[in-house]
Structure 1
Amino acid sequence: MKLNHLNLTVTDVAGSRDFLETYFNLKCVGSRGNGFAAMFDDDGFVLTLMKGKNVQYPKTFHIGFHQESKEEVDEINERLKNDGYDVEPPRQEHGYTFYVQAPGGFTVEVLS
C-alpha cells in the first residue's frame, strides 16, 4: 500500500504553493483562487492545500522532503537563508537535516 495523497490546511494557499514550487519542485496542477491548490510531485503524490483560519498544527507535526545527498540539503538550506527564511544550519541527527517554517503555518523538514 502506498500513501498517495495528503491535505494540508494552511493560512496562505498562494504563499504555501509558491514555497513548495520554488524549493521542492512540486507542480500546481489546479487551483480555486486563494482557497485551494492541488500539487503533484514527480512520483504522482498529490498534496492539496486548503485555506483555513487559525491553523495550529501540533508542535512536532511536519512534512519532509528527502534529498539524495548532504550537498542537496546544504543547497536548499542556503537558498532559503539567502531568501530570508530563518533556518539553522543542517546537523546530523536521524539524518542530515534541518527544519523551516513554511508560509501558511506548517513545518518542513529537509533531510538526507
Structure 2
Amino acid sequence: MGLNHINLVVKEVDQAVSLFADYFGFSLITNRNSKMAVLERSHQFVLVIWGQELNRKDEIPEYPENFHIGFYQEDEGAVREIYNRLKEVEGLKLDSEPKKIRNTFGFYFYFEKLMIEISVNPFKENIA
C-alpha cells in the first residue's frame, strides 16, 4: 500500500502551486478557481492544496507544533542550491542558512505557517 496524497491547507493557493511546481517538481493537474488545486509528482504522489477560503475562514491556518513536510536532496550542494533559489522568493521565511541538523545537512523555511524541510537523506546509505 502506498501513500496516495496529502492535503495541505493554505490561504494563498496560487502561491503554493507556484512554490511546489517551480521548486519541487510538481505538475499542476487542476486549479479550481484558486480555491483548490491538485498537483502530482512523478505520477507517484498527489498533493492537494486546499484554500482556507473553502473552510469558510479568513485567517492563515495553523499547523500543529513541529508538523512539517520534507524534501530530500542528493547532496549538500543541492541543498545550498535550492536555499539560494528560495532566498529570492517573496513571502517565504527562511530560519537559517543550511547547516548540520540532526544526522543530516539542511534547513527549514515557512510558506505561510507551513514548515518545510530541505535536507540530504540521512538514511541514503542504508537504503537498498
TM-score normalized with structure 1 length = 0.90
Greater Cα radius of gyration, structure 1 or 2 = 2
Unaligned runs of 5+ in 1: none
Pairing of 1:33-112 with structure 2 (within 5 A): 33-52=33-52, 53=57, 54=59, 55-84=61-90, 85-87=92-94, 88-94=96-102, 95-103=104-112, 105-112=113-120
Residues 43 and 19 (structure 1 numbering): CA distance in 2 closer, same or farther, change over 3 Å?
same
**Whole-angstrom distance in 2 between the partners of 1:97 and 1:66:** 9
How many percent of aligned residue pairs carry the same amino acid?
Answer: 32
5+ residue gaps, structure 2, are 121-128
How many angstroms apart in 1 are the aligned matches of 2:99 and 2:43? 27
- How far apart in 1 are the matches of 2:66 and 2:115? 9
C-alpha displacement of 1:92 = 1.0
Contact 2:10 2:49 in 1 (8 A): yes
Q: Is this contact kept in 1: 2:36–2:50, CA < 8 A? A: yes
Task: Tell me, in whole angstroms, the C-alpha distance in 2 between the residues paired with 1:2 and 1:46.
Answer: 11
How far apart, CA to CA, are the structure 2 residues paired with 1:63 and 1:27?
A: 18
Provide the alpha-carbon RMSD of the alignment: 1.5
Greater relative contact order (Cα < 8 A, sep 6+): 1
Whichever residue aligns with residue 57 of structure 1, its letter is Y
Number of corresponding residues: 111
